[in-house]
Structure 1
Amino acid sequence: MSSGKALAALVGLVGAVSIHDHLTTSKHDRVVRKTAKSIEREAPEATLHVDHESGVGNGQPDTIERYRPDITVRDFPRFLAIEIETRDSLDTHASEQLEAFASKRNYTAVLVVPSSTVPVAEEFVENRVDADVRVATPSNVV
């Protein structure tokens, strides 16, 4: 096989793996992974605990008031309890989680959503969450 054909086959294989990953991973889990990788790049000294088998971080986050954040960030100027949501998952359960995370001493509760969902998430926090919660996108958490 020529090197050109081998390269084309490799590119095809990588593309197929990427498509398979996209089809078999939920949007929520893709946003979790993207957020965790962004935090790793921006704050390499921080300790991350990531739920949902993202392949990033130092194991699963501890629960806070019976809820488990998608990501926690420690050993950083501030501790973060991060909940990832999509437009379709902004509901009562999400507001209860965020209120619990905001009640944890020394933690900042952060709601991370895809950029297209920020206006909806800000309205959700203002109207349905009785706590101080910051809204962010995967690329601007830290």
Structure 2
Amino acid sequence: AARRDKRPGEQHCAHVCELDWEHFDAADFTTPRPPTAILCSDCVYNPSLIAPLVACAKELCAAADEALGDDEAHGGSCVVWFAMEVRAVDVLEEFVEALVEAFHVARLPLDLQAASHTSKRALVYACRLRKPWGLSMLPDEAEQL
């Protein structure tokens, strides 16, 4: 896993919270300190939830990007990570189509995932609104979609 050096006096932390994808205020999640990463784990299982999930992720990412501005210390962009187990291929295909319409998307190959926590049914996608993934931003083996 990559680690960024902290600026003097800066602290890094993770904030974990429940989020209703259909009823939320992005400002509640992006102030006072906008996230540089958002993790969605095991959230893709029902086709009726895909549109609200992707719309929510896009709105949160846009609000975070606006608050981050052009701060290159964070790559100038919030990254939304989706980690999931494939339960139904048709649901996965619909989800990936929605992601590609909303974000610049890259899929993390299985060989870059921790061997102890992966299977051929486990997928990880990294998504961002700003700037397409440049070669220097992706692991060598990541596949842009």
Q: Is the shorter-chain TM-score for this pair beyond 0.5, marking a shared fold?
A: no
Question: TM-score scaled to structure 2, two decimals?
Answer: 0.35
Question: TM-score scaled to structure 1, two decimals?
Answer: 0.35
User: Could you say which structure has the higher helix fraction?
Assistant: 1
